[in-house]
């Protein structure tokens, strides 16, 4: 028995919301719950250390700035990057938009951007937008019926591509993409490579120094941190070379009527007052994850994922998206004759919180033949096998009613 299985009761007690009677939270792919340590840290900062960062020279202004920059160090260490490579944003979506606008300066009319059909809208629409602005061609790599990236098509499409962007883990199909191998292929063709790590960073070891990527992005709120804080990891040389797409206060060294000099990286990409309390909260979340152990999380969730598939994936009349193995601890499915929202509403009556609809990945779901979308149960390391049993029982009841 691993660390999490042995300590699951104590771990669950670290999360205030999980003590709600009869409440089963299976929507962590949308957002994770927060442990006391994160909530208390942020509360403490607001009560004891609140001042704007990188501005004042009084005591708490300097202390909060130090704490803010310490949070960058903690987060950079978590993915094995250097502090200057961590740009704080609001979320994954903003990180991808920012990267897209940064790369715009490297692209010219007719250049090709490649993403895939596996993507969340966040890793599709920003590219579509800049393609329209600059007259670029956007191409989508096909997926197989099991929602794996079609590698033959990938190889074809990355040839002469200027940007290749794809997800590490699919939020609908649970597909775990071999980003190391595929990013290397794209890099070898000379493309800028961006990986959407929103569903990976909370659940598995990510080491950007070991990946041939220019950008890697994720959200704090999906990994026990607060909302409104995200990360754009960018390779230092590239960040130094690129112009900031957005400007304003604090991202400059000097401003004159007829000129200015940008701040150093990463600050030149962080105009305005940053979400410093969010960053500090996220660093606390990272410390908590490190205390549990990201390897322990990965191992435990692998068991949860297998149990979920074995026990829910085979319910009569249920069809799920994605591969049969090597998948994340989530299951998006349809039940014959029941609308996904009705499935979610039925589960809600049983105290089980799941998401239903398109999960911001409509092209993927349409491609896989889920014409009304799906219902999705998504797990984190605070979930249990018995919660999966309860999900199965509730779904079986529903299937027997219809």
Centroid of chain to Cα 259: 37
Looking at 360, 367, 372, 396, which residue is catalytic? 360
Does 305 help bind ligand PLP (rule: CB under 6 A)? no
Cβ of residue 62: shortest distance to ligand PLP, in angstroms? 31
Among 219, 275, 279, 356, binds ligand PLP (CB under 6 A): 219
Does 32 help bind ligand PLP (rule: CB under 6 A)? no
Among 116, 171, 175, 375, binds ligand PLP (CB under 6 A): 171
Cβ of residue 323: shortest distance to ligand PLP, in angstroms? 16
Dihedrals φ, ψ of 128, to 5°?
A: -60, -40
The DSSP element (H or E) to which 13 belongs, if any, is helix 3-13
Give me the sheet containing 374-378, strands edge to edge: 318-320, 330-335, 374-378, 355-357
- Could you tell me which stretch among 2-10, 181-189, 193-201, 300-308 binds ligand PLP (CB under 6 A)? 193-201
Can 283 be counted among the known catalytic residues? no
Does 28 help bind ligand PLP (rule: CB under 6 A)? no
Does 374 help bind ligand PLP (rule: CB under 6 A)? no
Comparison of 124 and 346: residue with beta carbon closer to ligand PLP = 124
Cβ of residue 33: shortest distance to ligand PLP, in angstroms? 15
Cβ of residue 333: shortest distance to ligand PLP, in angstroms? 17
Does 191 help bind ligand PLP (rule: CB under 6 A)? no
Does 378 help bind ligand PLP (rule: CB under 6 A)? no
For tokens 């219809």, name the residue.
402
The DSSP element (H or E) to which 156 belongs, if any, is helix 151-158
Comparison of 71 and 171: residue with beta carbon closer to ligand PLP = 171
3-state secondary structure at position 65: helix
Residues touching ligand PLP: how many (CB under 6 A)?
14
- Do 261 and 234 touch, CB atoms closer than 8 A? no
Cβ of residue 219: shortest distance to ligand PLP, in angstroms? 3
Closest to 92 in 3D by CA, of 247, 277, 282, 249:
282
Q: Which residues contact 9 (CB under 8 A, 6 or more apart)?
A: none
Sign of the CA dihedral with 126 first, then 132, 134, and 136 last: positive
The DSSP element (H or E) to which 101 belongs, if any, is helix 92-103
User: Measured between alpha carbons, how far is 186 from 182 in angstroms, rounded to an integer?
Assistant: 6
Comparison of 177 and 394: residue with beta carbon closer to ligand PLP = 177
User: Measured between alpha carbons, how far is 224 from 294 in angstroms, rounded to an integer?
Assistant: 13
Among 32, 65, 175, 199, binds ligand PLP (CB under 6 A): 199
DSSP per position, 273-294: S--HHHHHHHHHHHHHHHHH-H
User: Measured between alpha carbons, how far is 218 from 233 in angstroms, rounded to an integer?
Assistant: 9
Residue 3 gets the label, from left (phi > 0), alpha (psi -120 to 50) or beta, of alpha
C-alpha angle 116/120/125, rounded to 5°?
A: 80
Among 32, 167, 279, 305, binds ligand PLP (CB under 6 A): 167
Cβ of residue 241: shortest distance to ligand PLP, in angstroms? 26
Comparison of 179 and 338: residue with beta carbon closer to ligand PLP = 179
Comparison of 67 and 94: residue with beta carbon closer to ligand PLP = 94
* Residues 93-132 interacting with ligand PLP (rule: CB under 6 A): 93, 120, 122-123
Closest to 227 in 3D by CA, of 24, 34, 95, 4:
34
Does 263 help bind ligand PLP (rule: CB under 6 A)? no
User: Measured between alpha carbons, how far is 386 from 24 in angstroms, rounded to an integer?
Assistant: 10
What ranges make up the beta strands (E) of 125-251?
A: 137-141, 163-167, 192-196, 215-219, 230-234
- Could you tell me which stretch among 33-41, 47-55, 86-94, 231-239 binds ligand PLP (CB under 6 A)? 86-94
Does 356 help bind ligand PLP (rule: CB under 6 A)? no
Among 32, 65, 92, 175, binds ligand PLP (CB under 6 A): 92
Comparison of 199 and 263: residue with beta carbon closer to ligand PLP = 199
Cβ of residue 122: shortest distance to ligand PLP, in angstroms? 4
**Which residues are identified as catalytic?**
360
Residues binding ligand PLP (CB under 6 A): 29, 91-93, 120, 122-123, 167, 171, 196, 198-199, 219, 360
């Amino acid at each position: 028995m691993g660390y999490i299985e042995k300590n699951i009761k104590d771990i669950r007690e670290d999360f205030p919301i999980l003590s709600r009677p009869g409440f089963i939270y299976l929507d962590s792919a949308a957002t994770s719950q927060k442990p006391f340590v994160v909530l208390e840290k942020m509360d403490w900062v607001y009560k004891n250390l609140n001042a704007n960062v990188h501005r004042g020279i009084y005591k708490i202004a300097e202390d909060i700035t130090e704490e803010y920059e310490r949070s960058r160090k903690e987060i950079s260490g978590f993915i094995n990057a250097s502090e200057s490579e961590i740009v704080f944003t609001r979320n994954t979506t903003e990180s991808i938009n920012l990267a897209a606008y940064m790369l715009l300066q490297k692209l010219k009319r007719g250049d090709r951007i490649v993403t895939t059909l596996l993507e969340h809208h966040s890793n599709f629409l920003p590219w579509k937008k800049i393609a329209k602005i600059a007259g670029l061609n956007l191409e989508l790599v096909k997926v197989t019926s099991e929602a794996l990236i079609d590698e033959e098509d990938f190889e074809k499409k990355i040839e002469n591509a200027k940007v290749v962007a794809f997800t590490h883990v699919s939020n609908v199909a649970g597909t775990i993409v071999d980003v190391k191998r595929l990013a290397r292929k794209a890099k070898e063709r000379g493309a800028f490579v961006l990986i959407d790590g929103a569903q990976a960073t909370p659940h598995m070891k990510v080491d950007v120094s070991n990946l041939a990527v220019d950008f890697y992005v994720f959200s704090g709120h999906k990994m026990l941190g607060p909302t409104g804080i995200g990360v754009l990891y960018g390779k230092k040389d590239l960040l130094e070379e690129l112009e900031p797409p957005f400007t304003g206060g604090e991202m400059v060294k000097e401003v004159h009527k007829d000129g200015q000099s940008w701040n150093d990286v990463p600050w030149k990409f962080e105009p305005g007052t940053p979400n410093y309390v969010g960053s500090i909260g996220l660093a606390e979340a990272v410390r908590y994850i490190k205390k549990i152990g990201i390897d322990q999380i990965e191992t435990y969730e692998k068991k949860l994922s297998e149990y979920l598939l074995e026990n829910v994936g085979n319910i009569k009349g249920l069809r799920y998206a994605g591969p049969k193995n090597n998948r994340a601890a989530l299951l998006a499915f349809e039940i014959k004759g029941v609308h996904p929202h009705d499935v979610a509403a039925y589960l809600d009556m049983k105290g089980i919180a799941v998401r239903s609809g398109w999960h911001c990945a409509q092209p993927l779901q349409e491609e896989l033949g889920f014409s009304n979308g799906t219902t999705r149960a998504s797990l984190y390391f605070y979930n249990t096998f018995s919660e999966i049993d309860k999900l199965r029982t509730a779904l079986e009841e529903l299937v027997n009613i219809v």
